[in-house]
Structure 1
Amino acid sequence: MAMRLGEKIGYGLGDTASSMLWKLFSVYLMFFYTDISGIDAWVVGVLFLVTRIWDSLLDPVVGLLCDRTHSRWGTFRPWLLWGALPFGVLGILTFYMPEWSSGGKVVYATVTYSLMMIVYSSVNVPYAALLGVMSADPHERTVLAAFRMAFAAAGSMVVVLAVEALVKAFRPWAGSSGSWIAAIAVVAVVAVLLFFVTFATTRERIRPVRTERHPVLGSLRDLLHNKPWLILAGAAVCLQVFNAFRESGTIYFFKYCVAGETVGTMSFAGVALTGSALFLAVGQLFNIAGIVLIPFAADRFGRRRTLVCALLLTAVFSFAFYFVRQGGYSLLFLAQALISLSVGGVLPLLWAMSADTADYAEQRSGRRDTGLIFSSYSMAQKMGWAVGSAATAWILSLSGFEANTVQSPAALTVIGCLQSIFPALAALGTCAFILFYPLADSRPK
């Protein structure tokens, strides 16, 4: 039985809520800490590294707790209901900085960001796992994952385009720091309301099989013997390394390789958007197009075959970017569109296939550990992002990169490779994992 369109939209809006705040953290939080709050950049880097590791390790714990939650609302939906408000409040507090000493500001930033990551995991992990119990049909899961990723990309685009305008609008009466708090408060309120919508419009249709005992060690052992999940986890690490290379390197590329960051700006709501912001916005737009198209391709050719083709195209277009990187804005934006279109549907397919690995585990063990499987997959993604971000910094350092100076030819070549060669290799690594995925058309056998 096909799910109602309203339920699919309601589910997708949950990732709009998550992605709006996550995009704020990934794009603006470092700037807020260093330029607005005056915290040393090296200290901010250590803070991010520690909290990302903590956040990654927390995900499986939340997943295990979710699997052991039983209520009249189901296993995963209650976490959305009770976690939405703390999610919004801590999002605002993360972008508030008291007038304390430098050490006090570091302590405040560490505490609030760490708490934010705890609450983020406690909402996002059950939200992701909810996909695995809303339907047992592989096609419906693919469509749900597509709705999720499309609405997430839309939320990210809205934040990229709107937050600077909100900050500018609030600055006359709120000041530099207060304008950020006001802007983030608007985003946080919207996110909280969207999580409530997701809770109200979704249903859990698959109930876990009741067993006499459900020990944690048994669940972990089953996970480590789940070959399809291990393969998807490896693919997730490689895919997030791909994303980290391209997103972390974009601003460097436009600042040092494309005749300066101020070239090619345009006005949106009275705010000048830089070339890198426009480049990222184009990527989000064509990601959405890829997400919309991927369910049709998966139905026609099968999930595994579709993934392999999409990843090979992503690698080819990424390699091609290296040769057009000095060819002007038209070629750069065309290459960005093609890369984003081809890779856009990969992540939703991987999430849909993760639900199938939960079915596979249940058939083998008689236990359904949906929360653990989805949360551990989320952990693999975050580990991949951490590895990719760290590798970007190390590669830049080894190339002789020096900030705010004219770069050497070697450094310029490496910066170009961060947008092309290195992501292409990561895409091929992702493809290699998928080639060994054992579930035909993502259906457990």
Structure 2
Amino acid sequence: MPANDRLTRGVRIGYGSGSVATGAFGTVPGLMLLPYLTDSLGIAAILAGFIVFLPKAWDVVLNPIAGRISDRTVDPRGPRRPWLLRAGIGLSIGFALLFAAPDMATGLEALWVLVIFVACATAYAFFQVPFVSMPAEMTSSYDERTRLMTWRVATLAFTIMVAGATAPAIRDGIGGRDGYRVMGLVMAAIIAIGVVSAYAGTRNAPVTAPEPGAGSLRDQLRIVGEARDFRWLLTCFVIQALAVGAMLAGVDYLASDVLDRKGASTILFVLFVGPALLLTPVWSAVGTRIGKKRGYLISSVILAVGALLTVTAQFAPLSVVYGAVVLIGVGYAGCQVFPLAMLPDAAAVDARRTGSNRAGVYTGVWTAGETLGFALGPGVFALVLAIGGYKSSTDGDAIQPDSALTAITLGFSILPAALMILSLWWLRRYSLDAAEVDEKVTA
């Protein structure tokens, strides 16, 4: 590997620390916001699902725009780093307000959450898109990007575990709406730590971006849309994001209503994310040995099998359910490492071939798709709850009918498993491997 393609450990750690911010924001609303709306504010499940979905849908429109803006940013610090700080601090402040709705009429409380969540989604777009764009410009090495993603995903997995385990614990320890308010402040502080660490840690990162691509945003989106391998990879990832988003939204319901175990939300989250901390380097080594696509395929199947096994949650011993969640975590680690390492390959191939930098547009489209998947996940899960007759309340003590318990179980198991298997139809059409990337980059 040429010396200028190698990244120092400090840069890898610094870049990876940005996942502290993305992990906290990506996890906690998906885990806590739907229960907050249905079981604390007393908002009907179908309306709560709409509130969770709409800001994410806004991001789908905004992310490509954020990518184009960051592509064309001129700053001595590089085109991406200034946005990490500007948008990241705004995201932290917004998150502190998200779960802090004052006591008002139910309609006004719902409006508060909707407006603040839209503001958070806007700030997140201008942080996440530049952040994800950076690897394609930091190194041209196929394998070095995988190593960089290993640090990022390991940090992401650790943050998801910490945030996902502590957020319900803080809420339950304090209780009521004050529990949600304190939890929001703690998570906002965690986001701020990740933002500042990523900004400072990438100050020595190389930037080798070609000139921004010519033409309008519509022209560049058309060019990106014609990139066949990117299109297949994105479709697969969006469907999988939908599956994971549905599972994430269902954790609290599965723990409290189906398993009926106090503190089970924290246990489920640790079991889900814990394997990723151990296996992220393993999946990285697997990808180096057998290729990213094959590694991605194997990890997807493992996740689907684990999800399918959780259909037994209503009658199986608790150990079986916990074991299935561990299997989900094993697959989830690979499903984070591989697509995030494959995305910069597609952007770099385009940049080297054309001499134009569309990394931000590629990333904007990617994160728009990811956001859409994670937005639809809770929305679809909320729809499943509504079909099952789930009862909302302001104290979380409503007794759920058997139909609602079945809906929770199916929404957490069969639905995600089917989506994971469906996504593989597009993954099998992806063709970029190490040899092909090198060939197209040097052509």
TM over 0.5: yes
Candidates 16, 22, 27, aligned match of 2:20? 16
Candidates 405, 424, 434, aligned match of 2:417? 424
Q: In the TM superposition, what is the alpha-carbon distance from 1:229 to its structure 2 partner? A: 1.0
Larger CA deviation: 384-393 vs 82-91 = 384-393
* Counterpart position of 1:351: 340
* Counterpart position of 1:207: 208
Describe the superposition over 1:32-53 as per-residue Cα deviations: whole angstroms up to 9, x where unpaired.
4455556565543332222121
Q: In the TM superposition, what is the alpha-carbon distance from 1:375 to its structure 2 partner? A: 1.6
The equivalences for 1:155-234 within 5 A come to 155-164=159-168, 166=170, 177=177, 180-202=180-202, 203-210=204-211, 213-234=214-235
* Counterpart position of 2:91: 87
- Contact between 2:63 and 2:365, CA under 8 Å: does it hold in 1? yes
Q: In the TM superposition, what is the alpha-carbon distance from 1:249 to its structure 2 partner? A: 3.3
Q: Structure 1 unaligned runs (5+)?
A: 266-272
2: CA distance between counterparts of 1:416 and 1:101? 32
2: CA distance between counterparts of 1:249 and 1:26? 9
Q: Structure 2 unaligned runs (5+)?
A: 392-398
AA paired with 2:210? V
* TM-score, normalisation: structure 1: 0.86
2: CA distance between counterparts of 1:96 and 1:204? 37
AA paired with 2:242? V
* Counterpart position of 1:143: 147
2: CA distance between counterparts of 1:427 and 1:101? 40
- Contact between 1:222 and 1:361, CA under 8 Å: does it hold in 2? no
Candidates 354, 369, 389, aligned match of 2:378? 389
Q: In the TM superposition, what is the alpha-carbon distance from 1:133 to its structure 2 partner? A: 1.5
Percent identity (aligned): 22
1: CA distance between counterparts of 2:41 and 2:229? 45
Describe the superposition over 1:88-145 as per-residue Cα deviations: whole angstroms up to 9, x where unpaired.
2111122222344444434433322211111111111111112222221111211211
* Counterpart position of 1:315: 304
- Contact between 2:46 and 2:386, CA under 8 Å: does it hold in 1? no
1: CA distance between counterparts of 2:302 and 2:250? 21
- Contact between 1:39 and 1:105, CA under 8 Å: does it hold in 2? no
Q: In the TM superposition, what is the alpha-carbon distance from 1:179 to its structure 2 partner? A: 5.5
2: CA distance between counterparts of 1:179 and 1:84? 24
Q: In the TM superposition, what is the alpha-carbon distance from 1:208 to its structure 2 partner? A: 2.8
The equivalences for 1:33-52 within 5 A come to 33-36=37-40, 42-52=46-56
2: CA distance between counterparts of 1:26 and 1:318? 18
- Contact between 1:74 and 1:204, CA under 8 Å: does it hold in 2? no
Change over 3 Å in CA distance of 1:222–1:96 after alignment to 2: same
- Contact between 1:214 and 1:367, CA under 8 Å: does it hold in 2? no
- Contact between 1:256 and 1:407, CA under 8 Å: does it hold in 2? no
Change over 3 Å in CA distance of 1:59–1:325 after alignment to 2: same
- Contact between 2:15 and 2:152, CA under 8 Å: does it hold in 1? yes
Q: In the TM superposition, what is the alpha-carbon distance from 1:415 to its structure 2 partner? A: 4.3
* Residue-pair matches, total: 426
Change over 3 Å in CA distance of 1:27–1:422 after alignment to 2: closer
1: CA distance between counterparts of 2:248 and 2:71? 34
- Contact between 1:146 and 1:345, CA under 8 Å: does it hold in 2? no
* Counterpart position of 1:108: 112
Change over 3 Å in CA distance of 1:90–1:30 after alignment to 2: same
Larger CA deviation: 371-380 vs 33-42 = 33-42
Q: Are residues 1:117 and 2:106 paired?
A: no
Q: In the TM superposition, what is the alpha-carbon distance from 1:9 to its structure 2 partner? A: 1.4
* TM-score, normalisation: structure 2: 0.86
* Counterpart position of 1:270: none
Counterpart secondary structure, 1:345: helix
Larger CA deviation: 282-291 vs 209-218 = 209-218
